Structure 1
Amino acid sequence: MGRCDQQVVYNLPAQRFDQTAQAIARATGCFIRYPDKSLVNVPVQPVRGRLTRRQALRVALRGSALRIVRETPNLMEVARVPAH
């Protein structure tokens, strides 16, 4: 288990992906990488409750074109998944 597996209480509104990513990763050592900077303005879901950082990011991305494409104990990488 890494830093991305620590539980935190969240009360994040629906907002831009970059704002949510920063709030989830803030001061934890759990890095959320997104090499494609066009992702910053993608709207994501609200995140509420006691969740691990991994769970929180999955909740936020639900229903969007963004997915976690790589995970390590202390990192999650997000990319846009092309529509089929």
Structure 2
Amino acid sequence: MAALSAACQSDQSFSSSSPEISPCNRLRDFDLPAQRFDETAQALAHASSCFIKADLADIGSTQVPAVSGHLSIAAALSRILAPTDLQVMQHGDTLIVH
């Protein structure tokens, strides 16, 4: 499983283990094109101190749609993965894609 560092903002569908807002839940502006999941995950990872864990050997080449707007990394990942059978779970400052 590969880990990428990334940023996020609040989305009530994701829980945080801390009462403070997780870096994965902080709002950011995104304007990413449709591309491979690994490219999008890397771009999101460079945005903050939120980590993204995913098995890039299995899903790295999966094509994901463009994502734009003022949203968290958690919400951005959820949005791009909606057309797939992949899901995002949050554990503290880490987003896990499975």
How far the C-alpha of 1:36 sits from its partner, in A, is: 5.2
Q: Which amino acid aligns with 1:8?
A: R
Unpaired stretches in structure 2, ≥5 consecutive residues: 1-20
**Which residue among 13, 37, 43 is the counterpart of 1:17?**
37
Quote the RMSD (CA, aligned, Å): 1.3
TM-score with structure 1 length normalisation? Answer: 0.84
How far the C-alpha of 1:71 sits from its partner, in A, is: 1.1
The answer to whether the aligner puts 1:38 opposite 2:58 as a matched pair is: yes
Matched residue of 2:95: which SS?
strand
Matched residue of 2:30: which SS?
strand
Q: Give the total of aligned pairs.
A: 78
Contact 1:44-1:62 within 8 A present in 2 as well: no
Q: Residues 5-84 of structure 1: matches in 2 within 5 Å?
A: 5-35=25-55, 37-68=57-88, 70-79=89-98
Q: Which has more helix, going by share of residues?
A: 1
Poorly superposed stretches of 4+, deviation over 2 Å: none
TM-score with structure 2 length normalisation? Answer: 0.73
